[in-house]
A and B are shown apart, each in its own frame.
Chain A
Amino acid sequence: MTALGALSRRSVRGTLRDGDLLFAIGGPVAFFVCFTLTLRKVIDTGDMTYPQYIVAVIVVQAMIFTAMTTADRAARDHLSGMGIRMRSLPITALAPVTARMLSALVRAAAALAAALAVGYGFGFRFHGTVADLLAFVGIALLLSLALSLGADAMGSVANSTEAAGQTLLIPQLLLVMLSTGIAPAQSFPSWLGPFVRNQPVSVIAETLRGLAMGHSVRVGASMAWCLGLLVVFGTIALRMQRRAPA
């Protein structure tokens, strides 16, 4: 078995053992149920039902949570000295981070499936073509990969596992709440409108919502955000991985 195979298996097993996969599934289900039951009577989404409207942001949030777990995993590897031990072995420096990314994608896929399944139970329907579905899944997983690389880099320099995951909590909280994912832009104060409309969570949520309805909405902008984050965070994560231990 290759080093990457062995490390990936270790990472995925850890995900199963430590309840991360359960959390990846339970998180989006809980958020979907909470937001739908609390807000569907008070937020006006026009002709679209609220479950149809909100699935997109639940998916985006699930991808962010995947990244938060990745930060925690990377911090644990870093603090336990695993990273240093790996550097002493005759394997590529990228194997540990690649293994963690594969594990993150497994969690992301499970979270995505859970979000769509719970949405379906509440009346969400995918009206797009197979190509739209593939684009929907592709953008979600690309976002997850990009954020997980950034989170991995953050976890690799963290001095505690708690700090690693918590650092992402506040930007996540603000970006999800102040987005068109939960409510249309007109629900927010007018001076906040430009930020709400153009921040990444809104852009990607609108694209995913459009794809679910069979339309192409701001696909270019979403891809630019995802690929931009992927390039920036990917470069940082790889540089962190190659850096000699202190």
Chain B
Amino acid sequence: MTPFALLTARILGKSRMDLVFAVLVPMSGLIGLTFLLRDVITTGQMNYAQYILPAVVVQAMLFGALTTTDRAASEKASGLSSRMRTLPISPYAPLLARMAYCLIRGVLALTAALLGAYLFGFRLNSGFGYAAAFVLMSLTLTLALSLGADATGSKAGRTEVASQLLLVPQLLLVMLSTGLAPVDAFPSWLQTFVRYQPISQITETLRGFTSGHVTAGNLATSLAWCIGLLVVFGPIAVRLQGRTS
């Protein structure tokens, strides 16, 4: 078994509870938001479960990134990162293992969100190509956010501080987005921010994939955000992993 596979299996073994939460958090978020808001927020022809699913998916990916921060910080704090550097393995194997785990977690969260939404009337009517694009964009976002979170955790090195740093901005970005409500539900002075911030752009694209209507400009913006985050956070995470203590 390769070091990468061993390290991934180790994380999976230690994170069973986290995988349970990967399933339960999007489901409970979906249940709570749907019952709370489906009768008060107008989403036109689209039912509310159909409307909100992308926001629940993005929220689940962001929540996964928070747990990645904790994992990277605890590996550094426990001295595991330093011990790994003394072994005859690639210095990037631990990072790759953590990212593989994040993708597995992301797939679980995505599946749970889709199943939960299906019970509330969500349907993916847009065909295989759009469905594949939906999954691919969700997982690209997961990977990008997880790399950033991993870098934050590796740098912080203190599990207590690490994930709390990211919780408040994540909360603000998700709630002040078109993920939960159309832009006209917000005060007029805030609408420009709400419309153009990354979570809104990505949720609009994901929503487009579920309905089969995606505007080129919106798709380009979302791809730019996902790939941009990947390009920025990837090298930082890799550099931190390769750096000696």
Query: Hey, which bits of chain A sit against chain B, CB under 8 A?
Result: 18-20, 22-23, 26-27, 30-31, 33-35, 37-39, 41-44, 72, 76, 160-163, 166, 169-170, 173-174, 176-178, 182-183, 187-189, 192
Contact = CB atoms under 8 A, between A and B. Distances in A.
A39 B168 CA distance: 18
A188 B36 contact: yes
A38 B178 CA distance: 10
Contacts of A43: 40
A177 B41 CA distance: 15
Contacts of A166: 17-18, 21, 67
Contacts of B33: 177
Given A35-B175, A169-B21, A169-B25, A18 B36 contact: no
Interface of B: 14, 17-18, 21, 24-25, 28-29, 31-33, 35-37, 39-42, 67, 70-71, 74, 158-161, 164-165, 167-168, 171-172, 175-176, 180-181, 185-187, 190
Contacts, number: 103
Contacts of B190: 37
A38 B161 contact: no
Majority DSSP secondary structure for residues of B touching A: helix
6 contacts: A23-B164, A34-B176, A42-B41, A42-B185, A163-B17, A166-B17
A34 B171 contact: yes
Contact of A187 (B40, B158, B159): B40
Contacts of A20: 160, 164
A34 B40 contact: no
A187 B41 CA distance: 10
A79 B17 CA distance: 17
A38 B67 contact: no
Nearest to B164: A23
A43 B168 CA distance: 24
Contacts of A34: 171-172, 175-176
